[in-house]
């Protein structure tokens, strides 16, 4: 997890194969105090989506994760039908600067996205605009969350030199141009303190 923080900021504890969750308002109200005893050491929390949507549970989840002593990071769901600069502005407005936070993350997938499919060059131009603005604001390189389908379509892991958070349910990722830093291995973990199944991740 320490690698997800840029040098110059506070460093997270370097522990091999830490485990954690990613959450949004879909998980409902979370009893964060119950999570550390179940092996949760970090949480990525949805903050925003597209150019204007904000996750209504972000503030409560952000505060709850900190109060429980968890490492925390915020993520943005990137839509294919809004300019990257607009999406960066939305994320920046939602997430406070915190030198102890994990690197900001951007969620790149087709599930739930708009129907528009830009060309690879057009997509990468918008993603680059997002990354420039977010990294300038927070002073940390953005973590890229990718599904295999999205990476095959846009070759993100090959064209963008950032740490990777790869989704591969039930088995280690078999894609990506570089080794993963985070692996989303389940979307149905059951934990006390969370009413719904939750995504489970491994970090190295």
> What CATH number does residue 64 fall under?
3.20.20.80
- Within 10 angstroms of residue 33's Cβ, the number of other Cβ atoms is 12
Look up residue 98 and give its two tokens.
């915190």
- DSSP letters for the chain: -GGGS-BTBPPPP--TTEEEEEE-GGG-S--GGGSGGGT--EEEEEEEETTTEE-TTHHHHHHHHHHTT-EEEEEEEPPTTS-HHHHHHHHHHHS---TTSPPPEEEE-STT--S----HHHHHHHHHHHHHHHHHHHSSPPEEEE-HHHHHHH-HHHHS-S-EEEE-TTS-----SS--SEEEEEEEE--TT-SS-EEEEEE-
Per the structure, the count of domains in the chain is 1
- At 16 the pLDDT is 54
Does 12 fall in a domain? Answer: no
| pLDDT (tens digit per residue) in 52-68 | 999 999 999 999 999 99
Does 13 fall in a domain? Answer: no
Residues 20, 26, 31, 37: what is their CA dihedral angle, to the nearest 10 degrees? -20
- At 79 the pLDDT is 97
Report whether 41 contacts 18 (CB < 8 A): yes
Does 115 fall in a domain? Answer: yes
Does 15 fall in a domain? Answer: no
- At 9 the pLDDT is 40
Q: How far apart are the first and last CA of the chain?
A: 6
Does 47 fall in a domain? Answer: yes
Q: What is the extent of the structural domain holding 63?
A: 2-6+21-203
- At 81 the pLDDT is 95
Identify the segments of the chain with pLDDT beneath 50: 6-15
Report whether 44 contacts 70 (CB < 8 A): no
Does 14 fall in a domain? Answer: no
- At 17 the pLDDT is 76
- Helical packing angle, 120-138 and 84-94, nearest 10°: 30
- At 12 the pLDDT is 41
53-54/42-49 β-pairing? antiparallel
Does 41 fall in a domain? Answer: yes
What global pTM score does this model have? 0.93
Does 11 fall in a domain? Answer: no
For the chain, give the longest Cα–Cα distance: 46
């Amino acid at each position: 997890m320490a690698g997800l923080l840029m040098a110059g900021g506070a460093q997270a504890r370097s522990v091999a194969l830490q485990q954690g969750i990613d959450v949004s308002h879909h998980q409902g109200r979370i009893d964060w105090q119950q999570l550390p005893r179940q092996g949760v050491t970090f949480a990525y929390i949805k903050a925003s989506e597209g150019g204007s949507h904000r996750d209504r549970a972000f503030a409560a989840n952000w505060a709850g994760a900190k109060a429980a002593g968890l490492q925390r990071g915020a993520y943005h769901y990137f839509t294919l039908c809004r300019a990257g600069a607009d999406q960066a502005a939305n994320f920046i407005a939602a997430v406070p600067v915190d030198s102890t936070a994990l690197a900001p993350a951007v969620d790149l997938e087709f599930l739930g996205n708009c129907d528009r499919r830009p060309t690879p060059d057009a997509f990468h131009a918008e993603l680059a605009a997002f990354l420039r603005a977010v990294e300038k604001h927070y002073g940390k390189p953005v973590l890229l969350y990718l599904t295999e389908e999205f990476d095959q379509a846009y070759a993100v892991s090959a064209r963008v030199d950032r740490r990777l958070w790869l989704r591969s349910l039930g088995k280690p990722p078999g894609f990506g141009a570089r080794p993963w830093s985070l692996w989303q291995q389940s979307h149905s973990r059951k934990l006390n303190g969370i009413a719904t199944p939750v995504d489970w991740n491994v970090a190295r």
